[in-house]
Chain A
Amino acid sequence: MYTARVKFKRGNEIRFISHLDMQRMVQRILRRAHIPMKYSEGFNPHPKLAFAMAMSVGMLSDCEYFDVELENHVDPDEMISRINKSSPEGFTAVNALVTNQKMQSLTSLIEESEYTINAKLLNSEDSKKLEDAVKTILGEESIKYRKRNKKGRYNEKEIRPLIKDLDLVIENSKIKLGMRLSTGSKENLRPDVVIGILDPEKILFDWEFGFLTKRTFLGKSNLRERI
């Protein structure tokens, strides 16, 4: 049995589709590309396809991953070129790794993501305020985030350790804000939460998910299988 690990980009043309739609889209791309997918058994067989993480509707990404099980070996370069020929605009396969060895699952490997926001200051005099807000966060030892749980009660969560780095560049009221945050099944912090802490009253800058580009990083234990 072979598994292909595929690295891909999600561009503007397809940023509005949901995670479920994304899974369906990739299945159809793979079928059009004649990739020999392995199917589950049973009354309703489906391809064995696994994504690293669900993406927010609207967000772009320079680096995402999925794994797919194959019936037989396929040359990775050949696979990438076939996928890209069968893909809609906005979906680009970058790299693939095909192996018959057991790989650690994507969900267990994923640890961090990097986000870049390109936005504009609402008021050009406010650059200092935003810079201070970034410094404040990085200077804090503890940040508690209050979140409503499914039962409607508030939970408090320590999120400072999940913020690995923030990096702000302001040029002529244009903001480029880089964030490195924990991602994955163990610890996860969404970029909009950090933005909410930086600018709780939404007076400093205007943004939406389309201004956000994500890069997913697989953890260090993945060195051997890095693609």
Chain B
Amino acid sequence: MKERLEKLLPLVETPARYTGNEVNSIKKSINEGTIRFCMGFPDVYEVGMSHLGIKILYSMLNDREDVYCERVFAPWTDMEDLMRENEIPLFSLETQTPVSEFDFVGFTLQYEMSYTNILNMLDLAGVQIFAKDRDERSPLIIFGGPCAYNPEPIAEFADMVIIGEGEEVLSELMDLYSTHKNNYNRKSFLKAAARIQGVYVPEFYKAEYNDDGTLKRFDAVEAEVPEMIKKRFVKDLDNIYYPDNFVVPYIEIVHDRSLLELFRGCTRGCRFCQAGMIYRPLREKSLETLKKDADALIESTGYEEISLSSLSTMDYTCLPELTDYLMEKYAEKRIAVGLPSLRIDSFSIQTAEKIQQVRKTGLTFAPEAGTQRMRDVINKGVTEEDLISSVSEAFDLGWGHVKLYFMIGLPTETMEDVDGIAKLGYKVLDKYFETKSEKKNKKIKVVVSTSSFVPKAFTPFQWVRQDTIEEITEKQRYLIDNMRSKMINYSWHDPKVSYLEGVFARGDRKLAKVLYSAFKKGCKFDGSKEHFNYEKWLEAFKEEGIDPDFYTARERSVDELFPWDFIDMGVTKAFLAKEYQKALQGKLTGFCKFKCENCGFNEFEEGWKCHVYSKSQV
């Protein structure tokens, strides 16, 4: 394999995507008893290697003596063509072992538009695409990640789907497999696995539909498997495995830096945000743990930047202490500390000012909507004054590059709300011209970026109708026409991609055949402009007799049974429904870090009560 591969590598773009052998990649001796796990990411190396979850699970699995976890990414199309031409099957990076020879192959579902890549990778590996066609010799195909919370569109391709955080449940699965490995029977293993909390085995369940296409019932059809799948979450992040090193790629990846995870969960309660609901409850790591993690990562990777990565990083209770520690110890060594998007307040600007001593980059804010009314609907608890005073302070301190993230197509949105985005862009620009500070930056650039809202399962907006492609296009055109300043740079998302994303985000099992058909037509890398082919997708829907509008264009009734309702993710459907009603009335819900808003999590699992912080702790 290695020799055949070496012949192809000089012919492809960025061959180092396929060679492995990076610093901190794992080499192990393999024996009879070794459980072989191939961790797959359905996108190219540069994207997949940037993902924190994969890094954690790769290191954690390899920490076990009885498991060897390797990696595989989607080969770019030039490499895929050569592999198919030369009959080279999909192989792992570490040992160039064909993926079909592994015990387990895992795929993380980060994005709906990567689903065709999974099918393509299974095909390239020579693994049966549908779970029902697999036998004792096939690897077990596991899916996990945020999109797995609505697993139904991809359920027929999975042997198992992990709902929730992977650390504990994967360990339990490995323990279970080691008792089955010598006398392996696919079905009896899956039956045993289905009894582990957080493991969903789709073939043990059956969906029935009403004449109008909505779900009628969803039942377990195998004895002794749970009716409801309860998600998994790690209770104590200070006592769970976190890597002390990361694989350091040779080629530049999307997030080419160390990532420090400060906490999981977010309690802001933004109503559009799926992560804010499914990753509950809030669990912070202690300052001591984070210092230790950061020291180890900086030492072992040689990276010049460490990014503080969490859903709303600025909310971390001990953020000032943590940034002080990192700056004191590492500023002299020119190791920069990175923050993702900032909270819109003075504290955030002060923090950014402190940590950007090493390397000064732009600032990113996410007001999400252009008017106060719209921000109240989505429960984004910021005001225009917050934003304007924050950017004004930033301009005073010398920043000249400000990015603003918005969404269009939000529920109840009118053109007035869209216009608010353009107006806000100009108000920010005006603030720059009003700045009289000596430190004022000579260059100014305001980047306004809109993504198109896609209603997601397990959010207060899971019932709403999604804007059509035409509606989104009109709003984007309005913003293009109304932000003509050369100092404002407007960027937007392809509404056709958002439309398909919406179909799969709230899709059901009927979509499996559409996915298969689209893959057969050659759809892959649908998230990339270069490869996305909307016409082929429409053909696939048509041929399979499925109307994509069924999933996006209707307002769902309050009592509709959803395809994902058999999953218990902790926050109750009743809470989501209440939040939806409050949204329509423009009523806010507080930050539940300080006062419980009764989302249901305190009743979810025995032994768990959310920690209530007092405001003085912040």
Contact = CB atoms under 8 A, between A and B. Distances in A.
A13 interface: yes
Given A88-B22, A88-B23, A28 B251 contact: no
A31 B224 CA distance: 55
Interface in A21-38: 21, 24-25, 27-32
A14 interface: yes
Contact of A16 (B9, B300, B301): B9
A32 B301 contact: yes
Nearest to B15: A16
A89 B19 CA distance: 12
Contacts of A88: 21-23, 250
B135 interface: no
Contacts of A89: 21
Contacts of A13: 19, 21
A57 interface: yes
A220 B6 CA distance: 37
Interface string B346-375: 000000000000111000000000000000
Contacts of B10: 57-58, 208-210
Contact of B250 (A25, A30, A39, A43): A25
B300 A32 contact: yes
A174 to B, nearest CB: 17
Contacts of A57: 10, 15
B304 interface: yes
A24 B9 contact: no
A17 B21 CA distance: 12
Interface residues of A, number: 30
Nearest to B300: A32
A44 interface: yes
Contact of B252 (A14, A24, A32): A24
B302 interface: yes
Nearest to B21: A13
Contact of B358 (A45, A47, A208): A45
Contacts of A47: 334
B250 A21 contact: yes
B155 interface: no
B250 A17 contact: yes
B302 A29 contact: yes
Contacts of A14: 21, 250
Interface size class of B (residues with CB under 8 A): 20 to 34
Nearest to A12: B6
Contacts of B299: 32
Contact of A31 (B15, B252, B302): B302
A219 to B, nearest CB: 31
For A21, A30, A31, A210, which residue has the most chain B Cβ atoms within 10 angstroms? A31
Nearest to B9: A16
B335 to A, nearest CB: 8
Given A16-B15, A16-B16, A28-B248, A43 B359 contact: yes
A161 interface: no
Contact of B302 (A16, A28, A208): A28
Interface in A80-125: 86-90
B248 A16 contact: no
B76 interface: no
B16 A21 contact: yes
B301 A44 contact: no
For A16, A29, A86, which residue has the most chain B Cβ atoms within 10 angstroms? A16
A28 B360 contact: no
B205 interface: no
Contact of A90 (B21, B248, B251): B21
A187 to B, nearest CB: 27
Interface in B287-303: 299-303
A14 B251 CA distance: 11
Contacts of A86: 23, 302
A17 B251 contact: yes
Interface in B315-340: 333-334
Nearest to B398: A43
Contact of A43 (B15, B21, B301, B360): B360
B304 A44 contact: no
Contacts of B302: 27-32, 86
A31 B333 CA distance: 9
B252 A210 contact: no
A93 B28 CA distance: 26
A44 B359 contact: yes
Given A20-B252, A21-B252, 17 more contacts: A16-B9, A21-B250, A21-B251, A28-B304, A29-B302, A32-B299, A39-B334, A44-B360, A45-B358, A58-B9, A58-B10, A58-B15, A88-B23, A90-B21, A208-B10, A210-B6, A210-B10
Interface of A: 13-14, 16-18, 20-21, 24-25, 27-32, 39, 43-45, 47, 57-58, 86-90, 208-210
Closest 6 CB pairs of A and B: A28-B302, A31-B302, A32-B302, A16-B15, A17-B250, A43-B360
